[in-house]
Structures are given as structure tokens and as C-alpha cells.
Structure 1
């Protein structure tokens, strides 16, 4: 009986030791940067509230609600044990961009490309720099504005929460025959994001961003230009993995909300243009590199960019 008890105890000890070794190997695997990527697709509905077009009727959208959709892709490549390079691409197009009439003051589309260079310790955090360029289109009359942006970013990791901070500079210029820089330009911005992983494959994300810059330059009139322009954006998003779906298997899906408030002054303290756009969205994503959403967050392509194209396009709408 004593021999049986001793043998059983030894077996349990060996099993615990083996499981501990496997867990250590797993930790070692997930704590290494890997080639990773993600592709996302979403559809949504936007509407504008709180419209104040000022004394000069500067913001008067033809369509105050519209369908919208977007897609994005990111790829991260390790350059060493802690250094990585990530490439981004994203696009958003609204129902307004598909209309054949001459509607003005309607957000049509935005697209952008980004590059991130960062040093990351998957158990602690990340710091790095990024650059981006793209375009936002605010109406059908000379509404295209090309933008570029650059800045720094950092992430802090706890057991199941990621804190993400970005900041930098944003500028734009007309992208068509227009010579008037109505888009948001000469601006600074800051953005904060928090991601809470309730389980390894479910995540709740909240974010807030602020940008301040100029809109419309001097034109020889007696109106003081350029105008000051503010953008405040906030959002929430929930991601989860639905397992065992027929034909497609495990699938990562998400729902989200994005609110963006635009505000610019024109010709005096009582003449401002402002409005708030609300967007509700639902979509799916596919990622590789990282066994769960939490793993992917720490070693994968989880850096992203503010909504630069939409911010730039709003300058045209508010003019």
C-alpha cells in the first residue's frame, strides 16, 4: 500500500512537472515576436447630430445619414528579438461617395497607409514611431485633401489590459484643382486606447482622441483667417471569437461605435460651424500570428492609426 501511494505521488509530481514545462515552453513561444497580420471588413451606418452651420451657412450637409463600410489590413515583420516593422492600409467609403448627383458637404471617402517601427517587450510594453499618408474627401466640389502625419506611440501591458498612447503632427493640402486648404492642416493630435481582455479571446476596447489645427488660410478678405479647428473622437468596440461555425470554423467578429465632433470658427465668436457624426459598425476579422486575441495583442500587428482621413475631410465640410 505504501509502495502504491509512493508510486502515485511520484506520478502526480512528474505530471505536474511536465505540465509546468509545457506551460513554460508555451510562455516562451508567445513571448516572442512573430510574423503576423490581420485583415478586417466592416459595414455601418452614420448619422450627424448637433449641426450648427453658423451665420454664413458654412456646414449644411445634403445628407445627414448614410451607410458606410470599411476594410483594413496590417502586417508586422520582426527585425530582431525586440524590433519590428508594421505596415498598415485602410479605406472607408460611404454611400455619399457612390452618388451620381452634385451633393456638397457630404463625407465621401477616406484612405490611408502607415508604417510603424517599434521596440517591444511582449511582457511589458512597446515604444516606437510611425508615419502615415492618405486622402480624405469631404464633398464633390474640390473636396479631396491629401494628408501626411508622423508621431510617436507607446503601449503598456498588464495581465489582461493594454494601454496605448499616440501623439504627433498632421498636415494636409488640396488634392485636386482647388487651391484653398479647407482641410484640417498644421495640427497636433493625441490619442489614448485601453483594451481589456475579459478572456483570451474576448476584448473590450475604448478610445478617445483630440486634434487641433487650422482650417482655411488667408484669402485677402477682411475676415481673420486661418480658422481654428478642433476634432474630438471617441469610440468603443467589442471583439470575440465564435467557435465551430459551419464551413468556416472559428471566426473573429466585432461590433463598435465611433463618435466624432467637428468644430471650427469662421468670422467671429458667434459664427462657428460644428456637428457630431455617429457611426455604428459590425464586422469580422482574420488574423495570424498569436494563438488567441490576447497573444496577438502582445506579439502581433496590433498597432493602428487615428482616423486621419475623416478628420481632414471634415475641414472641407465645415468651410
Structure 2
């Protein structure tokens, strides 16, 4: 039932921008990327490294309901598979987000969003549990010629379910920041950082996750196609969960392509199109150890 609810919610979130009476035609893009990924587990007394690969697909659509009011919907799928001495540890994640915003072109954007997601965890293709995620928060962008500043913040809730009839809830908050710089209208570089925390009340533990990332995107002339490369790294610490200081670090490097709809340039997307992002969820400890 949970899977059906999340799938239905994601479908409705994506359909919203395209099913609402609007001032202009919708804009958006489809993005597909793949590349190497890895995890480093440091228990305080030992260190383990796991290597693998990651995939990401994102469909985003935006539409203006009035000259200044708009909505955006996102559906995202990510997958990561790690090799554990010949055994596969896989996390498949599905997310749907809906943003509502007020935007004055070339000045600023302010808005809010809701997002739901699920992580399906498996070991050698055998299910080991799920993590249901929910986010609610606010976001803003400020535009300075060829520079964009972007921030998100809000509350998050995780529901961890293993192969047992009970589930465990975790609550916390998150904050993300991003800087985008346009060398030309069709060449963008970006840097981002974030922090989120989750309280695990049953074990009196707190998970703190720090994320950093960078990327570049170039749109081909006269074609609705852009190429991108990006790197993301996160480290999660588990305070009071283990006697020694323990951390889990995750990294991935993706290259791929985006196929645009109704966008003249990358700068055009940033100032008048689908420029908002779904929250990049996840927790290194929960994804690595849940069900194992």
C-alpha cells in the first residue's frame, strides 16, 4: 500500500504543472546521467571501502499561472549499486516534488514545496527494507546578471521499515545552498553545500549529514540538448550510536544529457523555467546498514 500511495503521489505531483490553466506553455526537461559511485565506512577502529555505480533520471516541468505566480513538478529516480566482495548492495530511490513560487524575472524567486520519496534497499536482489521520506520547506533564488544564489530549508521525516511488522520514525531538518554562474547563456558552472540532521529517539542517536557538490552544464547550439557532469559527496556521522566515532561517506560522479522543452538557453531556464530542485535526500547509515 505504501508503494502505491507514493507512486500515485509522484504522478499527481508531476501532472500538476501540465494540468493547470496557465498563462503560458509549460517548460521543462528530461535528464539522464550515470557514473561511478562509492562508499567509505569508518567505524572508528576499522575502515571499509565499497565501489560501484550510480544512475539518475529526472523529469521536471514548470508553468506560470500568472505573470509572477508559477508551479513546478519533479519526478526523480536514482539508483546506486555497490560491490561487497561479490555481493550487490543496491538502493533504488523514487521522489516526487511540487513547488509553488512567486518570481519576478531577473530579480528573485520565493516559494515553498512538498516532497515525498522512498528508498528500496536490497542485497543480491533480495529486499531488505524501505525508507519512506517526506519533506516540507521554503526556497528562494536571487538573480545578479549571470549569477544565481539558491537556498532551501525545511523539515524532514524518515520512516524506516525492515522485514518486520514494525517501523521506526526519525525527524529532523535540512538546509541547502547553491551558487550558479553563467559563463555564457549556455554554459553554467555550479557549487552546492548542505546539512541535514535526523533524531533517532529509540537509540538516543543523532545522524548529521554534510553534503557538497559541483557541476558544469553546456547546451548545444541550435539543439534542445545539453551535456552535464557533476560530482557529489556526503558524509554522515552517528552521534551516540556507537562507542567509537563512526562515519559513512558517499560519493558519485555523473555525466549525462538533458533534453529541454520550451527553453531557449540555460540562462532562460534559470530565470523563467524549471530552475528549482527536489531535495537530495538520503542518509549514509540508514542506506548502508538497514536490513543487513
TM-score w.r.t. length of structure 1: 0.75
Give the whole-Å Cα distance in 2 for the aligned partners of 1:116 and 1:81.
Answer: 16
SS at match of 1:271: coil
Residues 1:315 and 2:289 are matched in the alignment: no
Q: Displacement, 1:77?
A: 1.7
* 8 Å Cα contact 1:229/1:262 also seen in 2: yes
Residues 1:261 and 2:235 are matched in the alignment: yes
Q: Which has the higher contact order (CA 8 A, sep 6+)?
A: 1
Structure 1: gaps of 5 or more residues: 1-31, 219-224
* 8 Å Cα contact 1:264/1:318 also seen in 2: no
**Alignment CA distance shift 1:256-1:316 (3 Å):** closer
**Alignment CA distance shift 1:176-1:307 (3 Å):** same
Structure 2 match to 1:292: 265
Q: Displacement, 1:295?
A: 1.1
**Aligned counterpart for 1:126 among listed residues 86, 109, 112:** 109
**Aligned counterpart for 1:154 among listed residues 131, 134, 140:** 140
Q: Displacement, 1:186?
A: 0.5
Structure 1 match to 2:181: 196
**Alignment CA distance shift 1:200-1:318 (3 Å):** same
Give the whole-Å Cα distance in 2 for the aligned partners of 1:231 and 1:137.
Answer: 20
Residues 1:46 and 2:20 are matched in the alignment: no
Give the whole-Å Cα distance in 2 for the aligned partners of 1:228 and 1:260.
Answer: 16
Structure 1: 4+ residue segments shifted above 6 A: none
Give the whole-Å Cα distance in 2 for the aligned partners of 1:123 and 1:267.
Answer: 47
Q: Displacement, 1:212?
A: 1.0
Structure 2 match to 1:82: 68
> Which has more strand, going by share of residues?
2
Structure 1 match to 2:18: none
**Alignment CA distance shift 1:33-1:212 (3 Å):** farther
**What do the CA deviations read for 1:85-114 (whole angstroms, capped 9, x no partner)?**
1110001112349x9x875xx452211000
Q: How many residues align structurally?
A: 263
Structure 2: gaps of 5 or more residues: 1-22
Residues 1:137 and 2:120 are matched in the alignment: yes
Structure 1 match to 2:196: 211
TM-score w.r.t. length of structure 2: 0.81
Give the whole-Å Cα distance in 2 for the aligned partners of 1:237 and 1:34.
Answer: 29
What is the aligned-residue RMSD (CA, Å)? 2.6
**Alignment CA distance shift 1:209-1:120 (3 Å):** same
> Which has more helix, going by share of residues?
1
* 8 Å Cα contact 2:228/2:256 also seen in 1: yes
**Aligned counterpart for 2:256 among listed residues 269, 273, 283:** 283
